[in-house]
């Protein structure tokens, strides 16, 4: 029977030493490694996350993308919502213990907020059995401790995940947190134990619904069994809450399956990291005088060239091309899939009409980027194309002349060369020093190589669309 009582005890971590490392040093090193390898592009105020909840060996690298996006930020409360795996009950249960203990230390629960939530609706209560050894909420806490340091938490376990329960829980959270800065974390894995290709197809339906920031679409797809998520309710609730709190955009930032780690693609589990935020638009690059029609034409050329190349067909020919599309510019074509880089190739020097370079670079981005396997035909509908038309290179004499958002950078030193486009520094929120260091890293050089006398630093800008 559900209870509404409080304990002075801290909930011990049931899965430390099994699902994730059981000692402070090993756990800290593991998470820091995951975080270091996660590269995240979110520009704006973050209200919510989606993070997977499998063992760290399988899903930790994906979870790190979500938590890297909030690293070092401060929140009044962090509300973690997960599904119940072990106990069946109706509604949602809010933990009322004193807090949680992990190998990284103790986290206090915001018991006042928990009481307010419990008193909001009859379907929100405290059911001790719902929290007993429930890994979906526990496994998020060490990542939060690493990313945020000190914070107060509220752990919620959902027994039922129908839309009505999601709405009840959403309204309770929104009303109870007025005037506070809160982070909502949805704990969920995606499809379970399907072949990798089938899993990706199912999971893409969830990723798309999240990217469209459409909780009703997601619920309808889950209800029809066209896709799977053990934490569908937590995801939908988080989408509903963050929208009401002020978030305007949703961004899937990493997707993978257990097969990417285990090498066994016969039966995999899908993992997603996503961010809900209020976007802050930042002017990137410069205008070079291309009309909207010319920009649309270049994107069309890129898209059709990619489709032809991936299908093994001849690239389309364009004879009636005029205006600036026949002028000579450097160009980069960038491909993204579900918010993740899928390929980027370009040429710095403009030595032929830009529409021809666009064709060639689009094909190369899809098939020849050495960091990725070639784009497949089934991926074509999921690709997002970005075109960057470059200005000529200009030697940097004073680092103070570099402007984040306007300038891209090139470094040349010996046989090494690296280039980063203007939008990269803006999307990652780097300062000039970090931009220079990351350009060195791109070139395969030490991060301080830009200080060397024999290092050549160039800047350029671009019209990005």
217 and 361, same domain (yes or no): no
User: What is the model's pLDDT at position 322?
Assistant: 85
* 132: pLDDT strictly greater than 90: yes
φ, ψ of residue 363 to 5 degrees: the values are: -60, -45
Q: 284 in a domain, yes or no? A: no
Q: 401 in a domain, yes or no? A: yes
267 and 403, same domain (yes or no): no
Q: What is the CATH number of the domain that holds 441?
A: 3.30.1490.150
70 and 129, same domain (yes or no): yes
60 and 29, same domain (yes or no): yes
302 and 377, same domain (yes or no): yes
* 6: pLDDT strictly greater than 70: no
Q: Taking all residues of the chain, what is their mean pLDDT, rounded to a whole number?
A: 93
Domain boundary among 360, 390, 420: 390
* Band (4; pLDDT cuts 50, 70, 90): very low
Residue 193 CA to residue 230 CA, distance in Å, equals 12
Domain boundary among 390, 422, 438: 390
Q: 1 in a domain, yes or no? A: no
Quote the number of domains for the chain: 3
209 and 157, same domain (yes or no): yes
Provide mean pLDDT across the span 415-438.
91
User: What is the model's pLDDT at position 7?
Assistant: 62
* 8: pLDDT strictly greater than 80: no
Are 330 and 350 spatial neighbours (Cβ–Cβ below 8 Å)? Answer: yes
Q: Nearest Cα to 85, choosing from 234, 237, 194, 257?
A: 234
* 12: pLDDT strictly greater than 80: yes
Provide mean pLDDT across the span 389-407.
95
Residue 252 CA to residue 338 CA, distance in Å, equals 6
* Band (368; pLDDT cuts 50, 70, 90): very high
28 and 65, same domain (yes or no): yes
* Band (198; pLDDT cuts 50, 70, 90): very high
Q: What is the pTM of this model?
A: 0.71
55 and 154, same domain (yes or no): yes
* Band (2; pLDDT cuts 50, 70, 90): very low
User: What is the model's pLDDT at position 281?
Assistant: 63
* 413: pLDDT strictly greater than 60: yes
Provide mean pLDDT across the span 80-87.
96
Domain boundary among 257, 279, 301: 279
Q: Note the pLDDT tens digit of each residue in 134-152.
A: 999 999 999 999 999 999 9
Q: Note the pLDDT tens digit of each residue in 322-353.
A: 889 999 999 999 998 876 789 999 999 999 99
212 and 254, same domain (yes or no): yes
Q: What is the CATH number of the domain that holds 227?
A: 3.40.830.10
- Percentage with pLDDT > 90 across the chain: 86
* 354: pLDDT strictly greater than 80: yes
Three-state secondary structure string covering the chain? CCECCCCCCEEECCCECCCECCCHHHHHHHHHHHHHHCCCCCCEEEEEEEECCCCHHHHHHHHHHHHHCCCCCCCCEEEEEEECCCCCCCCEEECCCCEEEECCEEEEECHHHHHHHHCCCCCEEECHHHHCCCHHHHCCHHHHHHHHCCCCEEEEEECCCCHHHHHHHHHHHHHHCCCCCEEEEEECCCCEEECHHHHHHHHHHHHHHHHCCCHHHHHHHHHCCCCCCCCHHHHHHHHHHHHHHCCCEEEEEEEEECHHHHCCCCCEEEEEEEEEEEECCCCCCCCCCCCHHHHHHHHHHHHHHHHHHHCCCCCCCCCCCCHHHHCECEEEEEEEECCEEEEEEEECCCCCEHHHHHHHHHHHHHHCCCCCCCCCHHHHHHEEEEEEEECCCEECCCHHHCCCCCCEEEEEECCEEEEECHHHHHHHCCCHHHHHHHHHHHCCCCCCHHHCCCCEEEEECEEEC
Domain of 301 in residue numbering reads as 292-390
Q: What is the CATH number of the domain that holds 340?
A: 3.30.700.20
User: What is the model's pLDDT at position 136?
Assistant: 97
Q: 384 in a domain, yes or no? A: yes
Q: 266 in a domain, yes or no? A: yes
Residue 285 CA to residue 462 CA, distance in Å, equals 5
* Band (174; pLDDT cuts 50, 70, 90): very high
Provide mean pLDDT across the span 273-290.
87
* 41: pLDDT strictly greater than 90: no
226 and 349, same domain (yes or no): no
* 214: pLDDT strictly greater than 60: yes
182 and 194, same domain (yes or no): yes
Which residue shows structure tokens 């029809």?
A: 224
* 426: pLDDT strictly greater than 90: no
Provide mean pLDDT across the span 245-255.
93
Provide mean pLDDT across the span 115-125.
96
25 and 64, same domain (yes or no): yes
* Band (3; pLDDT cuts 50, 70, 90): very low
Structure tokens at 359: 């064709």
Provide mean pLDDT across the span 168-175.
98
User: What is the model's pLDDT at position 279?
Assistant: 76
Provide mean pLDDT across the span 46-69.
96
- Residues in the chain, total: 465
């Amino acid at each position: 029977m559900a209870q509404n009582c409080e304990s002075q005890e801290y909930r011990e971590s049931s899965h430390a030493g099994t699902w994730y490392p059981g000692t402070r040093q090993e756990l800290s090193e593991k998470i820091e490694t995951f975080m270091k390898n996660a590269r995240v592009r979110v520009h704006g105020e973050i209200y919510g996350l989606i993070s997977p909840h499998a063992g760290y060996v399988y899903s930790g690298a994906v979870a790190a993308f979500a938590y890297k996006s909030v690293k070092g930020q401060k929140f009044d409360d962090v509300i973690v919502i997960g599904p119940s795996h072990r106990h069946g009950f109706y509604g949602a249960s809010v933990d009322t213990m004193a807090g949680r203990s992990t190998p990284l230390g103790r986290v206090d629960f915001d018991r006042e907020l928990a009481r307010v939530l419990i008193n909001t609706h009859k379907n929100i209560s405290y059911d001790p059995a719902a929290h007993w050894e429930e890994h979906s909420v526990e496994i998020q806490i060490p990542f939060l401790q690493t990313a945020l340091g000190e914070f107060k938490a509220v752990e919620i376990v959902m027994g039922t995940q129908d839309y009505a329960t999601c709405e009840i829980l959403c309204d309770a959270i929104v009303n109870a947190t007025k005037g506070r800065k809160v982070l909502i974390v949805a704990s969920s894995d995606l499809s379970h134990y399907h072949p990798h290709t089938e899993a990706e197809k199912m999971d893409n339906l969830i990723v798309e619904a999240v990217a469209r920031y459409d909780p009703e679409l997601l619920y309808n797809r889950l209800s029809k069994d066209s896709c799977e998520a053990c934490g569908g309710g937590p995801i939908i609730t988080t989408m509903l809450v963050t929208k009401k709190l002020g978030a305007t955009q949703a961004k899937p930032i990493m997707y993978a399956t257990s097969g990417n780690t285990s090498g066994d693609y016969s039966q995999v589990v899908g993992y997603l990291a996503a961010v809900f935020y209020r976007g802050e638009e930042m002017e990137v690059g410069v205008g070079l005088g291309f009309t909207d029609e010319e920009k649309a034409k270049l994107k069309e050329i890129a898209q059709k060239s990619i489709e032809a190349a991936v299908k093994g067909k001849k690239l389309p020919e364009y004879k009636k091309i005029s205006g600036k599309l026949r002028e000579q510019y450097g160009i980069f074509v960038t491909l993204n899939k579900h918010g993740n880089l899928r390929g980027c190739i370009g040429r710095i020097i403009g030595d032929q009409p830009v529409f021809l370079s666009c064709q060639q670079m689009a094909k190369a981005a899809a098939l020849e980027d050495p960091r990725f396997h070639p784009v497949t035909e089934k991926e074509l509908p999921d690709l997002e194309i970005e075109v960057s038309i470059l200005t000529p290179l200009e030697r940097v004499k004073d680092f103070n002349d570099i402007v984040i958002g306007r300038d891209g950078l090139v470094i040349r030193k010996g046989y090494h060369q690296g280039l980063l486009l203007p939008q990269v520094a803006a999307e990652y929120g780097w300062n000039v020093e970090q931009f220079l260091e990351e350009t060195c890293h791109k070139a395969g050089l030490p991060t301080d190589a830009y200080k060397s006398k024999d290092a050549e630093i160039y800047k350029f800008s671009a019209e990005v669309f």
